Chains A and B, each alone.
Chain A
């Protein structure tokens, strides 16, 4: 039996309803924007050695994006099977790959704009200059 309103007053229906903080149509990345800080700017180096059959490249791409949004500098070095991701990451972040590892895998080398072909010596220099090094294998 529905509650009856007092005479002269309309029935008040509850208009509030719970809404999840992140609706399914909005991706997690949109809900978890990095906090912008104006404190120290860090140099991140991502060393990616995982091959094509891995989700590491997506993680690296998301972390690179987040680092950039937070005002940090990020760079990616591709070695081993990771050289396969050159085209995926090119343009979003400075990318250097190990030329020896690329030549081991590919005889028909194609230049990818925005990707520098270097050596592990370049990795050493980038490691020296990096504040944080993250390896994805």
Chain B
């Protein structure tokens, strides 16, 4: 039985998958699961204060991400290396999001009961 789950969002903002990862992360606490959303690769841009509005999906996630942090108390972590690869390393993060290194991402995934890569 998984009591703590890491949702690893790594898809592009132009598609639905990154949004689906956020929705899943938002839903998991409803099942009593401690959730941690980690944004890597292209999805790391979702952790920025000003998210590039690339599609219907990426533009409408502010409310979900805010609810995830403030109402569900879930951790939202953004991988530093991913932001650097996208050239966005200097941008401010959204409230409640924290920057982590790639080794920490691996450690969080390894320590979790389950890791959902979406």
Residues of chain A at the chain B interface (Cβ within 8 Å): 47, 49, 79-81, 119-121, 123-133, 135, 137
Verify A128–B2 contact, CB threshold 8 A.
yes
Interface string of B12-35 (1 = CB under 8 A from A): 000011001001101111111100
| Candidates B11, B30, B32, B114; contact of A133 at CB < 8 Å | B114
| Candidates B1, B3, B27, B117; contact of A124 at CB < 8 Å | B27
Verify A135–B118 contact, CB threshold 8 A.
yes
Q: Secondary structure at chain B's binding surface: helix, strand, loop or mixed?
A: mixed
Additional pairs, 18, CB under 8 Å, beyond known A79-B24, A124-B29, A127-B116: A49-B17, A49-B118, A80-B20, A120-B23, A120-B24, A120-B27, A120-B30, A123-B24, A123-B31, A124-B27, A124-B32, A127-B28, A127-B31, A127-B114, A128-B31, A132-B114, A135-B116, A135-B117
Which residues from B are CB-within-8-Å of A132? 114
Q: Compute how far the CA of A137 lies from the CA of B18 in the bound complex, rounded to whole angstroms.
A: 11
Q: Compute how far the CA of A97 lies from the CA of B22 in the bound complex, rounded to whole angstroms.
A: 17
Which residues from A are CB-within-8-Å of B17? 49, 80, 137
Interface string of B92-118 (1 = CB under 8 A from A): 000000000000000000000010111
Q: Please judge, given known A-B contacts A80-B17, A128-B33, A137-B118, whether A121 and B1 are in contact too, CB under 8 Å.
A: no
The number of chain B residues touching the other chain, given as a range, is: 20 to 34
Residues of chain B at the chain A interface (Cβ within 8 Å): 1-3, 5, 11, 16-17, 20, 23-24, 26-33, 114, 116-118
Q: Compute how far the CA of A125 lies from the CA of B31 in the bound complex, rounded to whole angstroms.
A: 5
Q: Please judge, given known A-B contacts A121-B31, A135-B116, A135-B117, whether A127 and B5 are in contact too, CB under 8 Å.
A: yes
30 A–B contacts, CB within 8 A, in A order: A49-B17, A49-B118, A80-B16, A80-B17, A81-B16, A120-B23, A121-B27, A121-B30, A123-B27, A123-B28, A123-B31, A124-B27, A124-B31, A124-B32, A126-B31, A127-B2, A127-B5, A127-B28, A127-B31, A127-B33, A127-B114, A128-B31, A128-B33, A130-B114, A131-B1, A132-B114, A133-B2, A133-B114, A135-B116, A137-B118
Which residues from B are CB-within-8-Å of A79? 20, 24
Which residues from B are CB-within-8-Å of A135? 116-118
Which residues from A are CB-within-8-Å of B28? 123-124, 127
Name which residue of chain A comes closest to B116, CB basis: A135
